[in-house]
Amino acid sequence: MHEISIDTGGDKAALYRELARALDGLTTGEPDPVANMANAAALIWEYLPGINWAGFYRAAGEELVLGPFQGKVACIRIAMGAGVCGTAAATRRTQLVADVNAFPGHIACDSASASELVVPIVHAGVLIGVLDIDAPTRARFDAEDAVGCEALVAVLAPRLAGG
């Protein structure tokens, strides 16, 4: 059992540092990528305020397939290049979307989602999938969130590549 306590007094950079530390502790020595994605999704869901979905889509050929997540049921398959997740996967660039309804080709899995942050997960040049986080408010995410989530993915990527 893991006891995690994160209290950063509202300092977003400190929150992401603590989340990365906790994620490192949760995933060190665990070779199973599904277990690691599941714990990462739960950690983000529990400690990142103001979100309504947190999880993973795994790369599978020319599409992304739903992985472990927290939140409402989600789209199961997304084509590479489609929507925010597919765009992040195809370009291998973080997508920070203040208003999902303004994003060309947005795929609305949950109509309550208004903003989205998607970080591609790449290890040794291979796309593993994406970390996807949604929020019910517009402009919930900013550059500091993008950097923080990229740091989480940096911890996680090598621990997802083995399985």
The pLDDT confidence band at residue 2, using thresholds 50, 70 and 90, is low
At 15-35, the pLDDT tens digits run 999 999 999 999 999 999 999
Please choose, from the candidates 50, 59, 25, the residue with its C-alpha nearest in 3D space to the C-alpha of residue 40.
25
CB atoms within 10 A of CB 149: 25
Displacement of CA 49 from its chain's centroid (Å): 14
Instruction: Name, in order, each residue with C-beta under 8 angstroms of 111's C-beta and a sequence gap of 6 or more.
Output: none
Q: Look at residue 42 in the predicted model and tell me its pLDDT.
A: 96
3-state helix, strand, coil in the chain (%, to 5): 35, 25, 35
pLDDT on residue 109: 75
Output the six-digit token pair for 68.
Answer: 């472990």
Question: Using 50, 70 and 90 to split pLDDT, how confident is the model at 91?
Answer: very high
pTM of the predicted structure, to 2 decimals: 0.93
Q: For residue 121, what pLDDT is reported?
A: 98
